[in-house]
Chains A and B, each alone.
Chain A
Amino acid sequence: MARIRTTVDGLVYEDDVEPRMLLVQYLRERLGKTGTVIGCDTSNCGACTVHLDGLSVKSCSVLAVQANGSEVLTVEGLERDGQLHPVQQAFHDNHALQCGYCTPGMIMQSIDLLGDNPDPTEQEVREGIEGNLCRCTGYQNIVRAVQDAAQKMKPGATASQPASVAGGGA
């Protein structure tokens, strides 16, 4: 067993874990954070995307021990005071999901993308989410949602909440 100390969605956790435990297993099975889902378990589909120290990673391809000393942000840590993150809201407003299974990963990767590029073109959005697969092939509305969120997160935009770009402030 290995001792790890992580901050997940703003709270500090200390646990003993098996070295082979994946970060996504730790989040779901130890912490009960089932908002982060397991899709392919082979680092292909991106459904399990979370932020590790502010950068998007595929949590099925990171060991829990690799997150020791780090901050993890999951889709469950995005809302503030009952308000959805602007990217979550944009996915809702644009109906950017069909079955919804890819949605947590799509949202986390989109937030990472907008942190690097606050005003992406359609092509840049498609490249930015190249590591996230939607098996319903519902990409059109996903791309629209990311661009919509980008507009609403611009400085001066009249959003329903202060725009917070990378990491949702955590």
Chain B
Amino acid sequence: MKPFTYARPSEASEAVAALAADPDARFLAGGTNLLDHLKLGVVEPSQLVDVNRVTSTAIEDLPDGGLRIGAGVPNSDLAADPRVRERYPAVAAAILAGASGQLRNMASTGGNLLQRTRCVYFADPTTPCTKRDLSQGCSAREGWARYHAILGTAADGCIATHPSDLAVALVAVDAQVQVLGPDGARTIPIGELHRLPGDDPTRDTVLAHGDLITAVDLPAPTPAVRNSTYRKVRDRASYAFALVSAAVALEVRDGTVADVRIALGGVAHKPWRATVAEAALRGRPATDDEFRAAIAAELDAAEPVRSPLGGNTFKLPLVTGTVVSTLRGLAGGTA
């Protein structure tokens, strides 16, 4: 690990100013992902600015019935909060589906959203990776692409997926991200926080250097959100990243879909809100055939990778099966 300096400011504005003044500085929250990257040489910061004393560790009730989650709230506390479990079951389930007890104790809410892809080529500086270095090509396209994207990709571009389970659930419940930057505070809808790779896959989010996530707001839960869950499909039963995951919220009235939210993980460079499928389902009968047709419409745009080491075309039926069975379960059938 290359040496770096360490600062522990006592105000959020100081932390933001410290980063703004040093293009090679990084924020340190729980550090569970950053420390791996420091050891691997994926990042080599000049300075770590510890934000643990400057971000809230409280979960507060908002006047509209929502919740404000301080950016410093550990993942384990968020998953255990009775209000989160009752009103936003998909959020609690998503956290518990990720990592392990020790990491959830250390990992913060803000840091979880900003963790980086687990693409093996990204984490290995001896292999070319366009996400680490724009001048390089993507090794995954001709390599091990099992965990990689099928939606929102560009020709020959980065096919990394965003690894957060929490972010997928937050997209499904329309969370709002509070950010403090060098020019002041602003609010970003979670669906607009993460970006598609486009022509700059080195950037995972729309945040600029020095922008600090200070809180995540959950809007008052709708009936669909109260009836939500998170389903994660992976190569082993625990302690693995998602091949495919789905955060799904559903309200059925008189056999008809009154409201539905579907966010997918493991399929794109960002948590993927399945807006095509949602639009296709609203007002339609809550049946397997309708569920299947809706997700098929969403996957029309999918471009799976066919690589010599095994691509990811298997994700098309896997997404379909995962979403259909999850919707069926929320509608009161057998998941």
Contact = CB atoms under 8 A, between A and B. Distances in A.
Interface of A: 2, 18-20, 22, 41-43, 46, 49, 52, 55-58, 61-63, 65-66, 68, 109, 112-113, 126-132
Nearest to B123: A42
A3 B299 CA distance: 54
B32 A61 contact: yes
A127 B106 contact: no
A126 B101 CA distance: 12
Nearest to B2: A20
14 contacts: A2-B6, A43-B36, A52-B105, A56-B101, A56-B105, A58-B32, A61-B31, A61-B32, A63-B35, A65-B8, A126-B238, A127-B238, A129-B101, A131-B101
A62 B50 contact: no
Contacts of A109: 101-102
B38 to A, nearest CB: 7
A37 B35 CA distance: 18
Contacts, number: 81
Nearest to B6: A19
Given A62-B31, A63-B31, 12 more contacts: A20-B2, A20-B38, A43-B32, A49-B102, A55-B105, A57-B105, A57-B106, A58-B102, A61-B106, A62-B106, A109-B101, A130-B239
Nearest 9 CB-CB pairings of A with B: A131-B100, A19-B6, A55-B105, A130-B238, A130-B239, A20-B1, A58-B102, A56-B102, A61-B35
Interface string B68-86: 0000001010000000000
A92 B28 CA distance: 39
Contacts of A56: 101-102, 105
Nearest to A18: B3
A99 B102 CA distance: 23
Contacts of B31: 61-63, 66
Contacts of A2: 6
B13 to A, nearest CB: 21
Interface string B17-49: 000000000001001100110110000000010
Interface residues of B, number: 28
Contacts of A63: 6, 28, 31, 35, 48
A57 B102 contact: yes
A130 B39 CA distance: 23
Kindly name the residue among A52, A68, A131 whose own CB sees the greatest number of chain B CB atoms within 10 A: A131
A68 B53 CA distance: 12
B55 interface: no
Contact of A43 (B2, B35, B48, B101): B35
Interface of B: 1-6, 8, 28, 31-32, 35-36, 38-39, 48, 50, 52, 74, 76, 99-103, 105-106, 238-239
A130 B100 contact: yes
B101 A61 contact: no
A41 B35 CA distance: 10
Kindly name the residue among A2, A20, A46, A113 whose own CB sees the greatest number of chain B CB atoms within 10 A: A20
Contacts of A128: 101
A139 B232 CA distance: 24
B6 A131 contact: no
A93 to B, nearest CB: 24
A20 to B, nearest CB: 5
A126 B321 CA distance: 27
A42 B8 CA distance: 25
Contacts of B103: 43, 58, 61, 131
Given A113-B101, A131-B101, A131-B102, A65 B6 contact: yes
B101 to A, nearest CB: 6
Nearest to A22: B35
A112 B76 CA distance: 12
Contacts of B238: 126-127, 130
Contact of A42 (B36, B50, B101, B105): B36
B101 A66 contact: no
B35 A62 contact: yes
Contacts of A62: 31, 35, 106
A41 B39 contact: yes
A130 B106 contact: no
A130 B35 CA distance: 21
Nearest to A56: B102
A58 B107 CA distance: 11
A63 B45 CA distance: 15
A22 B8 CA distance: 17
